[in-house]
Structure 1
């Protein structure tokens, strides 16, 4: 699996904002760094299919050999993890993850099987007993773990990380970063992370693209 950005240019009101040209291999995390307003998050919007006016994109965005520029966002199979967990507050922890399961898998599993599988996933992050918990009762680090589990439950072909550790204190950040990196590597997913924090970029240990 690979995500490729071939001469991808982001424009704002038809004025160039940034241009990038690189690929992200399976299991690799590439960091894009730059000042606020440089277009980092807008680049992620372009990749995920959520770009809106006054922004536009030129160039080829390719995922696993398929050009996805004109594919609707919901069909691109790209997972996104934001600075905010953005969990559904009307759903429990377990139901948040279940919501992201592919439709075919959701219907193929009995409710008990689905629950057992999700509890197993929660157990990998020390939250095995949290299936029925309200998400509002979780700490920031716990919410971030659940958010990534929900992202991975959808079986994405690539993952975008938008300042994923920005709201965590240093202790929680030191705990969460290596776990996120390992989860993505274990699944062989190409991942692109935008950040303004050099500590986050260095912790990932991969290439850093300056914009």
Structure 2
């Protein structure tokens, strides 16, 4: 099956500064794609180029087999959901949702058909009974649904979502994740969802694309991105790895934290300085003086404090070189740990669980 959207060597810059640097991308239809990256990585610029709000300096944008670089935004059949929702405060919920149908430049439809389509979309997104309310009279989550319904009612081939959950509180964001996925699956349309939250990207995407410094650094299934980040930069951005600096010395990695043996299966290509990474939940805490067993690595550290997050506890240990190591304990697997403040412990992990970028 041909990809729904293809980008070939797309570049875009502003004021002589490059933002997108040769983006090559292929997205399949009927899928949920998360586009993850730190602030300034080019995420929103990439969406705007796809939507037609910005023209690429170089490269091709192809939708459903047709090049659309020079096609006006309103003719691309691409929907866009903005972070701030961009709703009309003087219009009702129903009028906001039907705005695109009433004002479309191409393919105008009879009023009765518009009403039927708006009513069906209101039911789909769970806004029945709120049709005549003003935007100021509904909650943040309901506004998010209005913005999504206004886009979906025009039946686009592709929906671009620019941090659509960023304006919602934490509890509502979690609920809306499930709702967005359920709505997308019912309609069978492709969503490209931009976010700076690694948790959101991993939870929502069938595929996670990581954008870094204007380039695609990795595009994989969520579990692959989480357990096998393609670079130390991605591992650092995921915020679940401890990363050591140093150099590779034969079969070992040597740095300020010590000398660690390297498993051949752990080695990844390095795009920058060599680094050694171990995931926070792969570390076991043992009494001080406990030696590492066969196939294990360890460092000594002093307990500082723990942070309780409900499902897990994150504990912080200071190493002898002054850096801090984080250890995550999932409470579904074991009881909450009880470490003594300023006590020394041995932090241990399996050699095979480390990732070495060298």
Q: Above 0.5 in TM-score?
A: yes
Q: What's 1:17 paired with?
A: 19
**Mapping of 1:68-147 within 5 angstroms?**
68-101=68-101, 103=104, 107-110=109-112, 114-147=114-147
Alignment of 1:151-166 (within 5 A): 151-166=151-166
Q: Which consecutive unaligned segments of at least 5 residues does structure 1 have?
A: none
Query: In the alignment, which of 49, 52, 55 is matched to residue 49 of structure 1?
Result: 52
CA distance in 1 between partners of 2:185 and 2:34 (Å): 15
Q: Higher helix share goes to which structure?
A: 1
Q: Larger RCO: Structure 1 or Structure 2 (Cα < 8 Å, ≥ 6 residues apart)?
A: 1
Residues 82-120 of structure 1 show CA distances to partners (whole Å, capped at 9, x for unaligned) of 11111111111001111122757753242xx64454233
Q: Who is 1:29 aligned against?
A: 32
Q: Which runs of 4+ in 1 moved over 3 A?
A: 102-107, 113-117
Separation in structure 2 between the aligned mates of residue 154 and residue 37 of structure 1, nearest angstrom: 31
Is 2:52–2:72's contact at 8 Å kept on the other side of the alignment?
yes
Per-residue CA distance 1:158-184 (angstroms, 9 max, x = gap): 111100111111211121112212222
- Distance in 2, Cα, partners of 1:202 & 1:22: 19
Alignment match, 2:181: 181
Query: Equivalent residue of 1:129, what SS?
Result: coil
1:105 and 1:16, CA in 2 relative to 1: closer, same or farther beyond 3 A?
Answer: closer
Shift in Å at residue 57 of structure 1? 3.0
Q: Distance in 2 between matches of 1:175 and 1:128?
A: 18
| Separation (CA, whole Å) in 2 of partners of 1:101 and 1:196 | 32
Change (3 A) 1:118 1:9: same
| d(CA) in 2 for partners of 1:35, 1:114 | 40
Shift of the alpha carbon at 1:18?
2.6
Structure 2 CA distance for aligned equivalents of residues 79 and 116 of structure 1:
20
Query: SS at the partner of 2:125?
Result: coil
Matched with 1:4 is 6
Identify the residue that residue 194 of structure 2 maps to in structure 1: 194
Q: Which runs of 5+ in 2 are unaligned?
A: 212-358
CA distance in 1 between counterparts of 2:114 and 2:17 reads 48
User: Is contact 1:10–1:39 with CA below 8 Å preserved after alignment?
Assistant: no
TM-score w.r.t. the length of structure 1 is 0.88
Q: How many residues align?
A: 206
